[in-house]
Amino acid sequence: MKHVWKNYRLRDETAGMATANADGDLGHAVGTLWYACPVSRKQLKELMRRSDGPALRFFALWLALLAVAGMTAFFAWGTWWAIPTFFIYGTLYAVADHRHHELSHGTGFRTRWINEMFYHLCAFITLREGFYYRWSHSRHHTHTLLVGKDPEIAAPRPPNVWAQFLDFFFLHDGYVQVGRLLQNATGNLTEDGKYFVPDGQRRAVIWASRAYLAIILAVAVICVAAHSILPAMFVILPRFYGGVLCQVFNLTQHAGLDEDVFDHRLNTRTVIMNPVFAFLYANMNYHIEHHMFPMVPFYRLPQLHRLIRQDCPPPYRGVLSAWAELLPALIRQRREPAYFVQRQLPAHARLPSQAAD
């Protein structure tokens, strides 16, 4: 019989009250409950300053690489070169997951409509409907790894290792996301959604879910009409066959760490990555920084890291370093759900508060 550790289902109807404005009060909501490393008001104001320039350059480079990879893959179709070229295209396509993650906070661009345009584009690419996800992810930030309150705990204990393996190709989470689209499209939101999506946003969730399904159906119809899977190889399927690095990156965020503590240094990892990985991951490798100060744009996270690193546990030096810790932790949690990796805080750091049961 599977050992039951905790009930991870959302069960506190008041837990989402702090997220009344998903992209406006988020920094304040996190700051009122969670430990924050010392950063002066002046420094924080500068770090939180939004700018279109860095974000436009970042997204222009990504879209240019995606276009070049797509054209190369198209001309390689029918040859053995299609395998590596579509892998590159799929990887560049799938990392929209990390871009829409950041843009959900409204911090990427100074101009709001540009932020929203790229946000909803990336949300569709990764099959995470944008209106629903914004509220789910806001809740994740205000209640990070608080059991029964955080809807985005990726590795509940004891972890489902098989599900984690399937998500190297987005098969488990993809099934969940498509099922959520189908449920929300009926007009009856998922049980989790009923906890954190405000009444005024539910209509947007419903119609966006229907639009996603209509596009997916249209791609399928085009494939049938063309007697070729090629159209789906450029839209929809790349999130699956190109998802390996997304899962490699995403599990470094929280897997194997502590739960129910109000200190992101204990339940979140920062990983120092090479420039290519950091670009693909949209600087989300600075994940302690991102959670502690969620209103700081992704292009200023390296600067924030330099300011607070003396008050944080040592960062992991590369993806392999993080995985060398998290993989054995997940395996051990299969038989010992109470086990977690205890991050060592600097000697001068204030001890975190413990979350209520």
Each residue's pLDDT expressed in tens, for the chain with a length of 357 residues: 345 678 898 875 544 343 434 444 555 555 567 999 999 999 999 999 999 999 999 999 999 999 999 999 999 999 999 999 999 999 999 999 999 999 999 999 999 999 999 999 999 999 999 999 999 999 999 999 999 999 999 999 999 999 999 999 999 999 999 999 999 999 999 999 999 999 999 999 999 999 999 999 999 999 999 999 999 999 999 999 999 999 999 999 999 999 999 999 999 999 999 999 999 999 999 999 999 999 999 999 999 999 999 999 999 999 999 999 999 999 999 999 999 999 998 877 665 554 434
Number of domains in the chain: 1
Which of 22, 10, 36, 20 minimizes the C-alpha distance to 353?
36
* Residue 289, domain member (yes or no): yes
- Nearest-angstrom CA–CA distance, 283 and 96: 13
* Residue 118, domain member (yes or no): yes
* Residue 345, domain member (yes or no): no
Contact 55, 112 (CB under 8 A): no
Contact 350, 35 (CB under 8 A): yes
* Residue 137, domain member (yes or no): yes
Which of 201, 215, 245, 23 minimizes the C-alpha distance to 127?
215
Contact 193, 132 (CB under 8 A): yes
* Residue 92, domain member (yes or no): yes
Which of 254, 227, 244 minimizes the C-alpha distance to 330?
254
* Residue 342, domain member (yes or no): no
Residue 271 dihedral angles phi and psi, to the nearest 5°:
-125, 125
Contact 169, 243 (CB under 8 A): yes
* Residue 49, domain member (yes or no): yes
* Residue 196, domain member (yes or no): yes
Structural domain that includes position 86? 43-335
- Nearest-angstrom CA–CA distance, 286 and 10: 27
